[in-house]
Structure 1
Amino acid sequence: MTLSTPLSRLALVATIFLTLISTALAGDRALLNAIGYSEDGRYFAFEEFGVQDGSGFAYSNIYLIDIAEDKWVEGSPYRVRSEEEMTPLHVIRAQAASQAFADLEAYGIVTPADMIAFQADGEPEIDETRIAFNVPGFMGPAPRDQMYEIALDIFKAPSTEPCVDYMGQEPMGFAVNLTDLDGNTDRIYEDGHIPKSRGCPITYRPSAVFMPFQSYSLDHAVLLVSVWAHGFEGPDRRFIVVPL
């Protein structure tokens, strides 16, 4: 799949660079930028970015995910990290976008990602393991009388990382339960083994739900989960995708 027109290329570049001049707050709490979907909804791309605690190095990681197979596409993620503290975050993000551009173009990532639910970090008095939402309608906001609900279960899980030796704490895994509009609940994801890429997780939080722009079903919807893991100066936040 390729982008055949200058406007298509321009749209993709604009999507990637839309928020390049923004900066992360202090601490290694990665921020999230949803880049978009392929036209058929099979592929989803997003960026996590921020400044590492301890070193102060800026970083940007761009992920391109095959939703149908629930895995990264070959070559993903595209990671760039500064080698000195003076390199601005927007420069690192531009480098990561440039590195990922050819594959984002090849997979046709041109459809905007519609954020239909979000848990902000500063939001008070919420259940940090749950998020409720509905699919927006044709003629206005999403109905509120019936809602989907996502609930996370968090539990100790095996890992290849010696987390107890390093941190004195067993690593935590998670599972995702999705309740539909009729009240039926299915477990749609459950950790069996924590991958090395997560490090030593402490906890998880459902952060956002995305679906392709002008989509009216959960066929290609994804949940972005915040993963809080042990870092150099405290918990670090990264993101993972769970297809719904």
Structure 2
Amino acid sequence: MRTLLIFLALILGCGRALAADGAAFNPIGYSPDSRYFAFEQYGVQDGSGFPYWDVFLIDLKANEWVKGSPYRAMIESEEAKPSAARDQARAAADPALKQLGITAPAELLAANPATEAVPERERLTFDRWYQSLGSRSGEKSALGVRFELSVEKLPLPRPAACPEGDGESYGVKVILKDLQTGTSRAIFEDKSIPASRNCPAAYDVAAVVAQAGLPMTDRLVAVIGVYSRGFEGLNHRFIAVPFTISD
């Protein structure tokens, strides 16, 4: 019995390192003029069991990373705590966060974490503004501000680092639909697959973020989940797609 318990403890202890990993997402905030947005993703790397923490700064107007971003940290020890990686990444990003004045809080309008069991992960419905009775599924918005974000996979040439025979890699198209009028438009569409996505096999809509408080702006962020090939399966990471409600 003692031998069996030791064996089970070893198996359970290794389980985290042997499974594919899904990063957690946290919005850090906006600059006061809503031009810049920062978020972080973090978790424990599949295969190695090392904790990692990434801080991203996005120029929403130019739709590109701020120079120097992302700020990444990984602690190469299975015994290390995620907080150690967090402290390193945030210390590296802190000067840029202060320089850009990223102090305005972010508000989650909707979120669909990878651990939530839902029938379809490729779309997410949200209201732009709070309604006094809450956002009730299936009902029209009294304020006329209900929208749906969805993603479609795009067959595109695989990045050079993605080997043949390891499955297809896809780009993504992100679509915003006004549920009051029924009109839709693409807010983002890949022309090629960035190497930074590490052979993406699928996508989902993870969250919708807006700047909290007054004055309210129309510069929102769609947080798109990227499922890419890892050591023990598909890992889950995030990209940020800026958009506005109006065309």
TM-score by length of 2: 0.82
* Matching residue within 174, 177, 197 for 1:179: 177
Structure 2: distance between partners of 1:239 and 1:98: 21
Q: Give the AA of the match of 1:145.
A: K
Map of 2:65 onto structure 1: 72
SS of the aligned residue for 2:192 comes to coil
Map of 1:31 onto structure 2: 24
Q: Give the AA of the match of 1:172.
A: Y
Q: Give the AA of the match of 1:177.
A: I
Map of 2:91 onto structure 1: 98
SS of the aligned residue for 1:110 comes to coil
**Compared with structure 1, are the counterparts of its residues 205 and 217 closer, same or farther at alpha carbon in structure 2 (3 Å cutoff)?**
farther
**Compared with structure 1, are the counterparts of its residues 116 and 233 closer, same or farther at alpha carbon in structure 2 (3 Å cutoff)?**
same
Map of 2:221 onto structure 1: 222
Shift of 1:27: 4.0
Q: How does 1:74-223 map to 2 (within 5 A)?
A: 74-137=67-130, 141=134, 145-146=140-141, 147-165=146-164, 167-180=165-178, 181-214=180-213, 219-223=218-222
TM-score by length of 1: 0.83
Structure 2: distance between partners of 1:70 and 1:85: 36
Query: CA contact under 8 A between 2:159 and 2:199: conserved in structure 1?
Result: no
* Matching residue within 33, 36, 46 for 1:43: 36
SS of the aligned residue for 1:102 comes to helix
Q: How many residues align?
A: 220
Considering only aligned residues, what root-mean-square deviation do their CA atoms show, in Å?
2.2
Structure 2: distance between partners of 1:207 and 1:54: 24
1:169-212 deviation line (CA, Å, top 9, x unaligned): 12111101111242211111111100110110110000000000
Shift of 1:93: 0.5
Structure 2: distance between partners of 1:52 and 1:164: 21
SS of the aligned residue for 1:33 comes to strand
Structure showing greater radius of gyration is 2
Structure 2: distance between partners of 1:164 and 1:214: 47
Provide structure 1 residue ranges, at least 5 long, that are not aligned to the other structure. 1-23
